[in-house]
Amino acid sequence: MLECLAAPGWLACGNEAIAFDPLCGDGTAQAAREAILAAAVITAIMEYPDDPHAMETLLMHYRSMLLASMRRHLRFCAQFYSMGGNSPWWRTQISALATGFEWCSGQLAGLPQPRYELHGLRLVPRMVPA
């Protein structure tokens, strides 16, 4: 996972942004969700081209959603990997997943609650914080 997922003028997407473990089979769904979110963020930014606060908030939303996706994926992988066995290799993998999950949780704790939600293919401001 890239440390910087978005900045003015660009969004990181696909495996260059975050890469999911192919054994879990979650990557295709993530690619579709990420593409929809990226398109919605770009559309929303284009609606407010002269508002740097809107751009900053939308880019933060994108980063938060990708972090949350990675966190969810790591939890899913840990459940999947726990069925792999109890050898040192599996224990190392599960430990690495836990470390990644904790890192994502810490990053998300430092970010504001999501301020947007998808309605169809468009982002709209949330009326009530998540």
Q: Is residue 26 part of a domain?
A: yes
SS3 18: coil
Burial zone of 96 (CB within 10 Å; 0-12 exposed, 13-18 middle, 19+ buried): middle
Q: Return left, alpha or beta for 33; rule: phi > 0 is left, psi -120 to 50 is alpha, else beta.
A: alpha
Which pTM does this prediction carry?
0.86
For 41-83, the pLDDT digits (tens) are 999 999 888 888 889 999 999 999 999 999 999 998 898 888 8
pLDDT at 128 over 70: no
Q: Which of 49, 55, 22, 19 is nearest to 34 (CA)?
A: 19
For residue 40, what are the domain limits? 6-125
Q: Is residue 1 part of a domain?
A: no
Report the mean per-residue pLDDT for the chain.
Answer: 89
